[in-house]
A and B are shown apart, each in its own frame.
Chain A
């Protein structure tokens, strides 16, 4: 079955450490996105990528980094510069920028 796989489902990080969240899709989608969800707030865009080897900052990119070396993979690194990283992170993909987005099941990141 085609879909988006995010791993791990739960992730714990010590303060000062970088951590990488995985997102893989086998839908052959060109576009991929990372969103952050906090309680009581709507999802906010962190980074997006329209094609391989290209990505753009979203609304809240500070403290995060991404890469898009392969079409099917769009990992997100939460760096130590991100002051409040505890959140639920969702990855999505679509055929193009104005097409329905397919979402993964999310990764919940907590700081120890």
Chain B
């Protein structure tokens, strides 16, 4: 079973700072997801990637398959980016659900 580790667990930064959240996993995967969970609990899917890099607005996600590692970057961070960011992986060809990290709690202060 895949083990998913995220770091840091908690991160507080000032508005405008460049943010990096890391995710590592133990077993080869077919896809990695980055999710955003807001205080009310609802979850939004940010990225799904299996190689390389994806960008959407101020968010950038990268993955290194050989190193079993992914990063989520936020440029020009804003208080509205404050949320829990969750990394999740799908291992191999399994048809079941995802394996999730515990999340990184991000607070951006004005």
Contact = CB atoms under 8 A, between A and B. Distances in A.
A35 B41 contact: no
Nearest to B96: A48
A44 B43 contact: no
Q: Which of B43, B88, B95, B99 lies at the interface centre, i.e. has the most chain A CB atoms within 10 A of its CB?
A: B43
A60 to B, nearest CB: 11
Contacts of A105: 40-42
Nearest to B100: A42
By secondary structure, the B interface counts as strand
Nearest to B50: A98
A57 to B, nearest CB: 9
Contact of A42 (B4, B44, B90): B4
* Chain B interface bracket (under 10, 10 to 19, 20 to 34, 35 or more): 20 to 34
* Chain A interface bracket (under 10, 10 to 19, 20 to 34, 35 or more): 20 to 34
12 contacts: A40-B102, A42-B4, A42-B101, A43-B86, A43-B88, A48-B95, A56-B95, A58-B96, A101-B98, A103-B43, A105-B42, A106-B41
Given A43-B100, A98-B30, 11 more contacts: A35-B97, A42-B100, A56-B96, A58-B97, A90-B41, A90-B43, A97-B96, A103-B43, A103-B45, A105-B42, A106-B43
